[in-house]
Amino acid sequence: MTRIAIYDPPGCCSTGVCDPGLSDQMTQFATAIDALMKAGHDVARFNMGSEPGAFVENSTVKHALDIDGMECLPMVLLGEKIVSKGAYLNRTELSAKVGIEIPSAPAKNENQSKDAAASSCCD
């Protein structure tokens, strides 16, 4: 199974609650990544703010940063091949890029959504 690696720009978290402008996109992306992990796929996620070494240790990521700067983040790699740069993908888009059918997340009830919002990383 080929590893999927996500390289996120600096920020407080990957859920999107910190940036209202991106929260829906980031939430959809995080949900799709979670579904991949729960299905047993090899997924790794790195944040520039907390794990900068991961960005310079990977020659593909380092080269993209050297050429495109921070605008190439977020970046998704399938093995060592870049399959997406500069955007958080929804489930359908990510599925097409990595070649894996990603199941839809079950609908949350209103209380679960409120609990999730209350436990954000940015409180």
d(C-alpha 9, C-alpha 82), whole Å: 16
| Nearest 10 degrees: Cα torsion 81, 86, 90, 94 | 0
Q: What is the mean pLDDT of residues 96-115?
A: 68
Q: What is the predicted pLDDT for the residue at 27?
A: 86
Kindly state the helix (H) or strand (E) to which residue 32 belongs, with its residue range. helix 23-38
**Residue given tokens 């599925």 in the structure block:** 95
CB 79 within 8 A of CB 61: no
| DSSP code of residue 79 | T
Note the pTM of the prediction, 2 decimals. 0.78
The 10s digit of each residue's pLDDT in 9-20 is: 987 555 545 555
